[in-house]
């Protein structure tokens, strides 16, 4: 069955509007995605008909809410091809998931003289938590270089997988460059050396199938709002034996087995890491988003976005004074660029007047911007509902930018 982008666009009410008198062309999907009716309907149902606090309640609304919440966990488990629902921990997002690992697994396994290895293309959320941990325990943070195309230097990576390296934490797909890292190969290199691995999948999960068992990683994290789900919800996947050996991060209700004034004992995963009343509706909405993407077909989405990326790359390369930042051989749908003599914020503002939504700035990757010698870029990022016509509108807007500044 062919990919019917017009039919899919009809699932997203937000796309059917005008901005500054022009039809909206939403090309800011790496920052956050729009929501399909399936997600909006799931949120409406849980809040309007099925809402109550979950677990332990015996009345029907609590039972229905609990069933919906745990059904969402099953949906995420299938979405990631995990082996067990207990490997799926609901958190606020990828940022919280990384911090959870740093403050539980990290404080247990990383000490003075040890190393945490990341890459030069990491989002701040996969830099700062490890800096905080290293400062607290006396460990070192090491960084793998990238080349001029935005690809990892595999020789540098291999040389930094040392006996002192306890953890490799890296982005699966770069939010600023679109680079798709050879995650399975890198995880295998690390595991051969006994190094624990975490993959930041915030930008990978919206664009194609992810199989955590095939990848072989110990941890995998992503955010709901990147995969057409709600904000304030995300997932930490952890291999069950690893999660079972980790201490809790936060204390409170639902994460305990027993409590006394003398001592408390803790629940098994995932409850151990879900203290307090969770974002019930967020989890339900995320489950609906995962089911929606599965129904559309993640391989079909990947193929559609790959075709748009080729089309958009060729079109942008024809614009005078425009330089693409990030030209890796294997990329997701991210088009980051600078324009000679024109600040990205000016580019973004002019495009907004044309109804074209893009992102400008450092994209929470300041070290990466420094690596490429720029302060900021303009980033157009693709989603399952984008079209060639929207890329044409982006190109037309950029040509107007050139005319205005030259």
In 3D, which of 191, 183, 188, 31 has the Cα closest to residue 119? 183
Transcribe 306-374 into DSSP letters. Answer: HHHHHHHHHHHTTSTTEEES---SSB-SEEEEEETTB-HHHHHHHHHHTTEE-EEE-TT-HHHHHHTT-
**Measured between alpha carbons, how far is 203 from 222 in angstroms, rounded to an integer?**
8
How distant, in Å, are the alpha carbons of 2, 18, 298, 353 from that of 7?
Answer: 11, 19, 16, 27
Q: Are 157 and 187 in contact (CB under 8 A)?
A: no
The catalytic position among 134, 217, 290, 364 is 364
**Measured between alpha carbons, how far is 288 from 76 in angstroms, rounded to an integer?**
9
User: What angle separates helix 280-296 from helix 60-80, to the nearest 10 degrees?
Assistant: 40
Active-site annotation holds for 217: no
**Measured between alpha carbons, how far is 234 from 39 in angstroms, rounded to an integer?**
15
> Which of the 8 DSSP states describes residue 294?
H
Catalytic residues: 364
């Amino acid at each position: 069955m062919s990919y019917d982008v017009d039919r899919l666009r009809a699932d997203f009410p937000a796309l059917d509007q005008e901005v500054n008198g022009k039809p909206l062309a939403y090309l800011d999907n790496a920052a956050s995605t729009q929501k399909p009716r399936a997600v909006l309907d799931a949120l409406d149902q849980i809040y309007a008909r099925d809402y109550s606090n979950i677990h332990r309640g015996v009345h029907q609304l609590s039972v229905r809410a609990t069933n919906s919440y745990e059904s969402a966990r099953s949906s995420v488990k299938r979405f990631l091809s995990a082996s067990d629902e207990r490997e799926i921990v609901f958190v606020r997002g990828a940022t919280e998931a990384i911090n959870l690992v740093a403050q539980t697994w990290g404080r247990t396994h990383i000490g003075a003289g040890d190393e945490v290895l990341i890459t030069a293309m990491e989002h701040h959320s996969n830099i700062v938590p490890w800096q905080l941990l290293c400062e607290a325990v006396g460990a070192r943070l090491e960084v793998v270089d990238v080349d001029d195309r935005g690809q990892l230097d595999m020789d540098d990576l291999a040389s930094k997988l040392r006996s002192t390296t306890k953890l490799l934490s890296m982005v699966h797909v770069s939010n600023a460059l679109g680079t798709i890292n050879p995650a399975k190969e890198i995880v295998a290199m690390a595991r051969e050396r006994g190094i624990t691995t975490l993959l930041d999948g915030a930008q990978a999960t919206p664009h194609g199938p992810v199989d955590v068992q095939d990848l072989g990683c110990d941890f995998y994290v992503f955010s709901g709002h990147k995969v057409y789900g709600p904000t304030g919800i995300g997932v930490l996947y952890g291999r069950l034996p690893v999660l079972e050996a980790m201490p809790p991060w936060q204390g409170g209700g639902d994460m305990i087995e027993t409590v006394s004034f003398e001592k408390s004992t803790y629940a098994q995963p995932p409850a151990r890491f879900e203290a307090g009343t969770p974002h019930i509706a967020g989890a339900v909405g995320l489950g609906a988003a995962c089911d929606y993407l599965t129904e559309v077909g993640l391989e079909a989405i990947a193929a559609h976005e790959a075709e748009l990326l080729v089309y958009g790359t060729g079109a942008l390369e024809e614009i005078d004074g425009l330089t693409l930042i990030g030209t890796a051989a294997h990329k997701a749908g991210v088009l980051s660029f600078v324009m000679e003599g024109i600040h990205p914020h000016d580019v973004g503002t002019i495009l907004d007047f044309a109804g074209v939504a893009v992102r400008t700035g450092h994209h929470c990757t300041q070290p990466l911007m420094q690596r490429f010698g720029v302060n900021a870029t303009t980033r157009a990022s693709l989603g399952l509902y984008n079209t060639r016509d929207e890329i044409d509108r982006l190109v037309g807007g950029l040509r107007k930018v050139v005319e205005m500044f030259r």
